[in-house]
Amino acid sequence: MAELLSDDRMTTALGTLPDWRREGDALVRSVTLPSFPDAIRVVNRVAEIAENDNHHPDIDIRWRTLTFRCSTHSAGGVTEADISLAEEIDGVLDALS
């Protein structure tokens, strides 16, 4: 089973993920895209990455606004897999801009 991050590791990770925040047992990022089709393209690309990594974020779609929640449910909180997925999601969003 994956190990939960310590508070110190979480603080360090959030220092490298400035658009993310901790909400309870998850890392969360919301972003507004230029259009609904752009938002869906991002969701589709993140879905491909998640399938490849076998680690899936919760994704909320509200027109052009996406909210990603990364948490390892089997571990009950944030693990290194969530940090890695958040970094990959940032890469998808960076490539769009």
CATH number of 7-96: 3.30.1360.20
CA distance 37 to 20: 23
Burial class (CB in 10 A: 0-12, 13-18, 19+), 5: buried
pLDDT tens digits, 6-53:
999 999 999 999 999 999 999 999 999 999 999 999 999 999 999 999
Residue pair 59/40 in contact by the 8 Å Cβ criterion:
no
CA distance 54 to 66: 21
Residue pair 80/5 in contact by the 8 Å Cβ criterion:
yes
Percent of the chain with pLDDT over 70: 99
